[in-house]
Chain A
Amino acid sequence: MLELNFVTVAFFVFSLITLGGGWGVVTNKNLFRGTIWLMVSLFGVAGLFLTLSAPFLAAVQILVYIGAIAILFTFAVMLTRSLTNLRERYYRTWVNVLGAGALFLLLVLGVIAPVWIANPDRALPVSDQVVRTVDFGVALASGEGFVLPFEVASLLLTAAMIGAIVIARDADEA
């Protein structure tokens, strides 16, 4: 049985925040509010990372997602503002509700239930030891670790930034 301690309560609270925020994102007619709900959802995901003993990823989640990506979305919503309140919100609503519901049931009943719920020995962590953030930092900079993916990722970010500027710039100004 589930023991009721601080981490368990935190898991349920943050799950509720995550899914409630996600619900707000897909159902809100006003896209500006949708972006705010996205921030709520991302905050919940950061909390879930904390309960998974990954405080570094939680901090990155808040800095990169809420601090940068959500602000970027806010700008995009404002720059395309005149059409943010469309009369019809959805295409083929009921087909898509059924499709997404079927996907959820398939994932839960078809994959999660037989593999993880049916095997109680896979339910708990294999070890209470967790990699420290300092180990991750060393691995990012060492030749035996992730130095190549790290450099490729920085190249990708630079390319994406230049590409975004080039694509979004007015053709007349060039």
Chain B
Amino acid sequence: MVPLWMYLVVAAALFSLGTFGVLARRNGVAVLLSVELMLNAVNINLVAFWRYSAPTEIGGFAFAAFVFVIAAAEAAVGLAIIISIYRSRHSVIPEEADTLKG
């Protein structure tokens, strides 16, 4: 198998791409797309560490499986919020949703 650090480098690159998307994109849906990239980078790391460090333990495997659940919940609620903001303000730009700003 390829050495562990190669998986870590791929995951770090994907995470950095996602970070750039979250910080830079102007569209709220695009920000959530980038969050999905970051979640996937973390999941690659979790599965790689499980496979290389403790492949006979069930814990790391289960941890990665539960991340899927969290990601599904996050996507559903996040997109619902964006659609709701779009309804009331006709905009999906996060910076314009500033009602709570002091």
Contact = CB atoms under 8 A, between A and B. Distances in A.
Given A83-B91, A124-B1, A168 B84 contact: yes
A contact patch SS:
helix
Interface of B is mostly: helix
Query: How many A residues are at the interface, by size bracket?
Result: 35 or more
Contacts of A26: 17-18, 20-21, 24-25, 30, 34, 37
A18 B14 contact: yes
Contact of A65 (B3, B4, B62, B68): B68
A62 B2 CA distance: 23
B81 A107 contact: no
A101 B76 CA distance: 30
Interface residues of B, number: 74
Contact of A131 (B4, B24, B56, B75): B56
Interface in B1-54: 1-10, 12-21, 23-27, 29-30, 32-34, 36-37, 40, 43-44, 47-48, 50-54
B32 to A, nearest CB: 7
Contacts of A164: 76-77, 79-80
B64 A57 contact: yes
Interface of B: 1-10, 12-21, 23-27, 29-30, 32-34, 36-37, 40, 43-44, 47-48, 50-58, 61-62, 64-66, 68-77, 79-84, 86-87, 90-93, 95
